[in-house]
């Protein structure tokens, strides 16, 4: 509801511990090896679950002419994500694989909207994806790839 996921956990008390996999960093392994005494009760944890929308403009039937701009616009919800950074990635299909054409970090506006214009320099097939990752708050989201052609 409203971009949040609520997790409930119930316990009868005791010691809690976690385990870290072989790829966990030093800090994660140290935290996982510690034990914590937890009192009996029901615990509530609210997780922010962001959603990203992405639309491309300036295209006619998925095609843009060379040296014209493609509008990359969207909305990030909930509005609490305002002033966070999101990554806009543009890739070009070249020699049977995708190569990075441009990546920018963009600050989400106060209403949750974002927009950016990209001007392809070469003909070919392109794709765009927007993602947000904030490991301190443990939230991440991304859109699927949106493709277009440049002629």
- pLDDT at residue 29 is higher than 70: no
List of domains in the chain: 4-48 (no CATH), 51-150 (2.60.40.10)
Q: What is the dihedral of CA 102, 106, 108, 112, to 10 degrees?
A: -10
CA 78 – CA 49 distance, rounded (Å):
8
Among 143, 39, 40, 139, smallest CA distance to 90 is for: 143
- pLDDT at residue 91 is higher than 70: yes
pLDDT of 100 reads 96
Q: How confident is the model at residue 80 (pLDDT cuts 50, 70, 90)?
A: confident
User: pLDDT digit string (tens) for 54-72?
Assistant: 999 999 989 999 999 999 9
CA distances from 101 to 58, 122, 124 (A): 19, 10, 12
Sign of CA dihedral 30, 5, 145, 128: negative
């Amino acid at each position: 509801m409203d971009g949040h996921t609520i997790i409930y956990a119930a316990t009868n008390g005791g010691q809690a511990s976690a385990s870290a996999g072989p790829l966990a960093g030093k800090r994660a392994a140290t935290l996982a090896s510690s034990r914590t005494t937890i009192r009996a009760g029901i615990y509530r944890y609210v997780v922010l679950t962001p959603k990203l929308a992405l639309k491309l403009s300036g295209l006619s039937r998925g095609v843009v002419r060379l040296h014209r701009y493609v509008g990359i616009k969207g909305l990030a919800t909930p509005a609490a994500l305002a002033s966070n950074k999101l990554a806009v990635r543009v890739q070009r299909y070249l020699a049977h694989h995708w190569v990075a054409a441009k990546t920018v970090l963009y600050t989400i506006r106060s209403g949750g909207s974002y927009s950016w214009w990209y001007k392809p320099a070469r003909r070919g097939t392109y794709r765009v994806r927007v993602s947000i990752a904030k490991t301190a708050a443990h939230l991440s989201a991304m859109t699927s790839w949106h493709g277009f052609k440049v002629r």
